[in-house]
Structure formats: C-alpha cells, structure tokens
Amino acid sequence: MAPRCWRWWHWSAWPRTRPPPAGSTPSRNRAPLGLDGSAGRPQFSTQEQTPQICVVGSGPAGFYTAQHLLKHHTGAHVDIYEKQLVPFGLVRFGVAPDHPEVKNVINTFTQTARSDRCAFHGNVVVGRDVTVPELREAYHAVVLSYGAEDHQALEIPGEELPGVCSARAFVGWYNGLPENRELVPDLSCDTAVILGQGNVALDVARILLTPPEHLEKTDITEAALGVLRQSRVKTVWIVGRRGPLQVAFTIKELREMIQLPGTRPILDPADFLGLQDRIKEVPRPRKRLTELLLRTATEKPGVEEAARQALASRAWGLRFFRSPQQVLPSPDGRRAAGIRLAVTTLEGVGEATRAVPTGDMEDLPCGLVLSSVGYKSRPIDPSVPFDPKLGVIPNMEGRVVDVPGLYCSGWVKRGPTGVITTTMTDSFLTSQTLLQDLKAGLLPSGPRPGSSAITALLSSRGVRPISFSDWEKLDAEEVSRGQGAGKPREKLLDPQEMLRLLGR
C-alpha cells in the first residue's frame, strides 16, 4: 500500500512549458517563463495557467458548482469525484420515480460532464481512497459538495425494532441506491406511520398508496414494484410535532396527495380552528398551502369528489401536535406494533414556534414506522472542520473556516433544506466566491497536477475510477433493460454487476 500522503512530490518537478500563443486554449499545468526564457517562479495568472479545481460529490450541488465554474472561467478544469459508481446523487436516488420532470436536470448535468474541461471520477471514496489534504495538494481549490448521506435518528426506545426504518433508506430502496437494495420492507400490515411532515414524508406516503400499475412505467426498481404489488397497507398517517401552519411540505406535493387515485384524505377540522384569521399575515406560498389544507379539512367535497372518495380503498391522514416517544413492540417483542405519541401544544410565535408536551399520551397501532425527521451530513475527513450539532461544515459564504482553498456548497454548506433550485443558487454563490478568490490571488500559485497525480495515487492503492463514458455504457444498459417493460430504464443495483458490465 502506498503511503497516504505524497508531499515528497515537489510541484517544481512538474514540466513547465511555454505560454500558449495568443488566442489559443491554454493547456493544463503550464507556468510562465522567467525573463531569460527559463522557468521562473510561478505566479498564478488566469490567462497563462489552467486553474485545477476539484469538486467532491456529483449531486446537484456538485454539478451546479462545476457548471458555474466552467461557464465563468473559460480556462478552468474541473474534476468531480463521486463515491458511487454512477453520477447525479439525489436526482437519481432521491427524486420520486413519479416525478420524471424533476430529473430532466440530468440532461444539463450530462452536458457539463461531457465538457472537455470537466471529468467525472466515480467509485472514489474521498476520506478513504484519497484524503482531502491530498486533493488540496493536487488542486488549486477543492469544493466539498457531498450532501447529506445520513438520517436524523429518532432517539426513542424501540427505534431498533424490525418494522422501523428511515424514510431515507426507504427512498433509497425504491430508487435503486445500492446500499439499500436489500432493505425489503415488510408491507404486510394495515397501517403505516411516517414521522415528519416534509416533502420526503409525502413522497413516501404517495409511493406506499399509489396503485402499483401507476408506477409501472416509471424508473422505480422492479424489485420495489414487486414488493409494493403485494402491499397490504391501507392507511398512512403522517405525523408532525407542530400544527398546520408549520408543515414543511409544499403545495405541489399536497395536491398530489389529495388527488391520489383510490385514496381519501383524513383531516381533523378541530386542528384548523381559528386558522382562517391567522393566515392573513403569512407569506403567500404558506397562505396558499394552508388554505388548501383548510378547504380539504373543513369543506364538504363536491358530488364528483365525494363519489371518488366513497370508492377509495386506501386513506392517508395528517396528525398534528404529536411527538414520538416510543415505538411499541408486538406481544412477542419481535417487531414494531405501534407508536406512542405525546400530545403537544405550541408556544412562541412565527419561526420560533415550538411544540411542548401537554402531558397527554396517545398510542397509534401500526406495523411500519418510517422516520422522516431530516437528513444530516457526515464529516468527510479529519482535516476538515465539522459542526456535529448543525451537521454542516463551518463556512463563510462557502469558504471553509480556517482552511484556505477549501470550499463547500449544497446541503453540507447550509444544512438539508430547500429544493433543487435552492441548491443551484447556493452552489452558484460558492463558485462565485471561489472565482473571486482566484482573481484576487488568494489561491495557491503555480501549476497543480490535478487528476494526473490523483489517478496515479488511486492506482497505487488499487482504486480504479469510473469515467463518465463508463457511466454512459451503464446508462445505455439500463435504458435497454427498461425498454421491454415500457420503462425509461431499469436501474442497475449491484456495483459488482456494474463493474462486470464494464469488463472490470
């Protein structure tokens, strides 16, 4: 095994060539010449040298960062490192299969990856296969955009029982995330409870209740579809600690639930008492969302909608002012059979509103508990500062605190909030910050070897990265496998099978 660090490679040893003729495209790793024609002391010049930039993570944050860098610096070269064999992060593994329009952003990311100034390196685990200090030595700047790959634990008794899993793992299972392919949730129960009231919670509820035939033409995995076809789940409760004014889902997802074929909503009108007056002052998106909730809970449905609901064989409901206290075991103690909820009331106003227990308890029978109380990032490398309480890398406008030349974007920068467009804006801002620092001469001067050094290092450690052209072969295979069933693709789930298909 090669040593983990290679500081003995002096950057002065890398070949220096003459500056390119005016108007030509600068090649990588060039340094200016001294007045006598010999290699002089390298000073960074965006006209004479190629900035070598590394992005860690190929989800929306990583690709949007790369896209902005390439667009706004015509000489920059960007390498994207990804621990999965395949690119696109949460667009591939997080977006619901019945939301194909959201995945169209993959087309933009593909154009970025195909640029001759961008390279994708999959199957590389930063922090294990290569360290962040090693990346920092090989590149002028490193951007950490690796997202939030963990989930917030409930930290209540019974959480470890069979029948309890994170919504993140459930989403990974039906979306083909290799690490979740063997989850196989038990859907033999009548009632499921989802803890949390964000968009992920509604995605999970919708997938559980959607008639399987409506999912057959999506990119949901065939294995997941097979389990859902056998599902006996008839009722899904979506539980939140606070009230209707504090839900985290958006109006689009709520409308989809209300209109979901074969289902009817269950909302308690008592939860909405006095809400009509209180929503007058809230921002318009929140007002529209709450008005839709209010109408659904309190207004009598029209004749057509009433007939549809009367025929519904499945139901979903929102339970407000309830905080999970314990997962209740079955009589034999072998699996989850219910959840104990503390009844809450609200204190404070506006964003400071918090749920406090009243002392009352309520037991809700169920055979499946899915926790959807948030994602969280993990520390990637001992050399990178990390705030475990907030689950983010401490930063100022994307600059990692106390580590010059190191940046972050996306969820690991600001926390797991917002939608893809939020991440796009955030990533563009980090790129802007980096380019400002580059222009101001705050980044290392002189040539950096970039991927040539990292590829050699990985090779010495027995790591063979996956290129974007490799991914395109896997992509073609997935599309081919899906065609027979009328699906856009049948996702490959086993990394070993992917490597075999690539002749590895």
Clarify whether 140 is annotated catalytic.
Answer: no
Catalytic residue among 46, 99, 266, 475: 99
- The secondary structure of residue 467, as a DSSP letter, is P
DSSP strands (E only) in 31-161: 52-56, 77-81, 118-121, 141-144, 150-151
Q: Let me know: does 235 contact 242? Beta carbons within 8 Å.
A: no
Given a cut of 50, whether residue 23 has pLDDT beyond it is no
Confidence of residue 24 (pLDDT cuts 50, 70, 90): very low
Q: What angle do CA 110, 113, 116 make, to 5 degrees?
A: 130
pLDDT beyond 90 at 26: no
Instruction: State the average pLDDT over residues 180-198.
Output: 96
Q: What is the pLDDT of residue 469?
A: 98
Residue 19 reports pLDDT greater than 50: no
**pTM attached to this predicted model:** 0.88
Query: Is position 203 annotated as part of the catalytic site?
Result: yes
Q: Confidence class of residue 38 from pLDDT cuts 50, 70 and 90?
A: very low
**Chain center to CA of 344:** 31
Can you give the pLDDT at residue 252? 96
- For residue 127, pLDDT beyond 80: yes
Where residue 164 falls (left for φ over 0; alpha for ψ -120 to 50; beta otherwise) is beta
Our answer to whether residue 420 is catalytic in this structure is: yes
Residue 9's pLDDT is 35
Q: Which of 369, 343, 366, 365 is nearest to 271 (CA)?
A: 343
- Which residue among the candidates 98, 129, 203, 437 is catalytic per the annotation? 203
Q: Is there a catalytic annotation at residue 332?
A: no
**Stronger pLDDT, 10 or 353, i.e. the higher one:** 353
2 — pLDDT class (breaks 50, 70, 90): very low
The packing angle between helices 105-113 and 60-72, to 10°, is: 50
- CA–CA gap between residue 53 and residue 66 (Å, rounded): 9
Catalytic residue among 72, 421, 425, 494: 421
Is the pLDDT confidence value at 6 over 50?
Answer: no
High-pLDDT (> 70) share of the chain, %: 90
Q: Which residues contact 286 (CB under 8 A, 6 or more apart)?
A: 245, 279
- Residue labelled with tokens 């980096």: 434
**Cα angle, residue 457 at apex, residues 460 and 467 outer, rounded to 5°:** 100
Say what percent of the chain tops pLDDT 90.
82
Q: pLDDT at position 455, please?
A: 97
Residues 186 and 367: beta-carbon distance below 8 Å? yes
Whether the predicted pLDDT of 15 surpasses 50: no
Report d(CA 475, CA 487) in Å as an integer: 13
pLDDT at 110 > cutoff 90: yes
Q: What is the pLDDT of residue 276?
A: 87
Question: Residue 158: its pLDDT value, please?
Answer: 96
Catalytic residue, chosen from 150, 186, 420, 422, is: 420
Q: Tell me the C-alpha to C-alpha distance, in Å, between residue 333 and each of 164, 265, 339.
A: 13, 32, 14
Whether the pLDDT of residue 352 is over 90: the answer is no
- Give the model's pLDDT for residue 184: 87
pLDDT digits 0-9 by tens, 242-296: 999 999 999 999 999 999 999 999 999 999 998 888 888 899 999 999 999 999 9
- What digits encode the pLDDT tens for the residues 41-85? 344 444 447 999 999 999 999 999 999 999 999 999 999 999 999
pLDDT digits (tens, 9 = 90+) for 385-426: 999 999 999 999 999 999 999 999 999 999 998 889 999 999
- Of 25-34, 204-213, 431-440, the range with the lowest mean pLDDT is 25-34
Task: For the chain, give the mean pLDDT.
Answer: 90
- Tell me what the mean pLDDT of segment 175-199 comes to: 96
Answer yes or no: are the C-beta atoms of 362 and 341 closer than 8 Å. Answer: yes
Q: How confident is the model at residue 20 (pLDDT cuts 50, 70, 90)?
A: very low
**CA–CA distances in Å: residue 262 to residues 214, 217, 307, 316, 378:** 11, 18, 11, 11, 40
pLDDT digits (tens, 9 = 90+) for 198-244: 999 999 999 999 999 999 999 999 999 999 999 999 999 999 999 99
